[in-house]
Structure 1
């Protein structure tokens, strides 16, 4: 049986460590805005398409609904969004941005600038890296038949 590769030679560790470092780079700005990175992702899903259900947000973020629900509840308590049971299907919870939640989009715009500044890469290099990581994610996210 071959020996395990050193951590620095394992793609999964490099992706994990880079993700953690990006989170640390974003944290000061998110702290000033009063939200966490997972809450930012929920808001971002709603900036893309307001009025999503909890399930649709979970699907967009590749999370379980049970993970998204507490994030949505905290964002609602902070005044960033509202939740309401669907009149057509009471099992469905519709989530909408408040004016404050919609306005947060502008305030969060400089997160990308933070990554560009801190990474030492130009925009094209980051875009290329993102495309390659998305290809890997697409290949791995669906379970084998």
Structure 2
């Protein structure tokens, strides 16, 4: 398990290579979340993510541990960026590896659903009409409920 909260960008190819080198791995699933240029009908120019150091990493570790308990995974990587990001930049990377693809797909989706609802990140969008904090969406909470 590798959990990182950082300001700097990540290299998807390098992170994939680190995980895919294991000969026991039959499947690797990766998800990259990016800053969109449109949200809720408004043009987005940038996103600022804040977190509570220590608490955020603990929450991400808990999410990864739950995924490892539920699915037969070899590796889990979660990298989540904080700070100011422009549209098109990468925000989050989740990579899961397993002997079989089904385990990877389900675990990866679960991690993202849990991350959106359980990880203490605060998002402020800068839009054409000013800055505003993003509230958690009901659709994110609903997505997490399907795993219960």
Higher helix share: 1
Give the TM-score of the pair, scaled to structure 1: 0.29
Give the TM-score of the pair, scaled to structure 2: 0.28
Which structure has the larger Rg?
1
Which one has more relative contact order, counting CA pairs under 8 Å at least 6 apart?
2
